[in-house]
Structure 1
Amino acid sequence: MQETVLLYNIDKTDAGKAIISILEKLNVEVIIVKSSDLMSPIGYILGADNFERGTEALTEIPQDDMMVMAGFEDKQVDLLLQIFKEANIPFIPLKAIVTQTNVNWTFMQLLKNVKTEYMELTGMNKDMIN
């Protein structure tokens, strides 16, 4: 699988534009996740076979920023995050790597799971992230 980054709610910000520019220079595919994609499986958004678009109704539109990486090796993820840091891109608290498990989750499920984990790890109140 080609290295791919899914961006949600980031692409229109200055940081998002810088991230996209860096990723394009590194020949990383960028997919902008829209609110209409939130109830679809990660695999569907990535264009993988055997996944169907989600049909469940969206009950909320999260305002959180999130970056999801697919097809990267651990060292590549570390290097990519270091490049972002050196480019003075603001910290993105909600990040995930696609796994065999979460590829079946909807983007919304993944976002909620990552946000919960982040809050537990940092002891933050959920409203402090945004």
Structure 2
Amino acid sequence: MAVTRGGREMVLYYSPEGNKNAAKLKGVLVRMGVRIRNVSEEQFGDTLGSLIGLEGFEARESAEKSGEAVGAIEREVLVMHNFSGNRIDELLLAMRRANVQKIDLKAIVTESNVNWSFYHLYEEIGAEHERMHQNANAKQ
């Protein structure tokens, strides 16, 4: 199943309650013409494919069907779809210029992860982020 179809750029975004970063980020995305889909706790078990509206994915294709455990997400998560490398760079620069606090957990929808639940992606990129920090600290 092809993930990128040349369609409009979209960001899946989850922000814990009370996060002041959300308004600044959404302003950046609106100025760039990027669609924003806020992910709610009820959607943590939904696949990335269903969240971005890919053909062939059920509206609520969820991890519950596979028995995957879904817990709480305590950090911001930003998932990009249909972004070129240049547009990712533009987004990151625009976020810095708008003083959006760094979002550590960022990902791109790929052929490999389109079937993952939002929660599974969160776990994977969270673990990867921790490994990078451990490696960086070990080198110091």
Could you say whether these structures have the same fold, taking a TM-score greater than 0.5 normalized by the shorter chain as the test? yes
- Identity among equivalent positions (%) equals 28
Q: Say whether the 8 Å CA contact 2:63–2:117 is kept in structure 1.
A: no
Match of 2:109 among 98, 105, 116: 98
Look at both structures and tell me which one has the larger radius of gyration over its CA atoms.
2
Runs of 4 or more off by more than 3 Å in structure 1? Answer: none
The Cα shift of 1:10 comes to 5.3
Contact 2:10 2:82 in 1 (8 A): yes
- Alignment match, 2:54: 48
- Alignment: residue pair count: 124
Which residue of structure 1 aligns with residue 41 of structure 2? Answer: 35
What root-mean-square deviation, in Å, do the aligned CA atoms of Structure 1 and Structure 2 show? 1.8
Higher RCO (CA-CA < 8 Å; seq separation 6+) = 2
Unaligned runs of 5+ in 2: 1-6, 136-140
Residue 14 of structure 1: how far off its partner (Å): 2.4
Task: State the 1:12 CA deviation.
Answer: 5.4
Check whether the contact 1:10–1:16 (CA below 8 A) recurs between aligned residues. Answer: no
Q: Which runs of 5+ in 1 are unaligned?
A: 125-130
Kindly state the Cα deviation for residue 61 of structure 1 after the two structures are TM-superposed: 1.4
* CA–CA distance in structure 2, aligned partners of residues 22 and 90 of structure 1: 12
**1:2 and 2:8 matched:** yes
Q: Is the 8 A contact 1:9 1:66 kept in 2?
A: yes
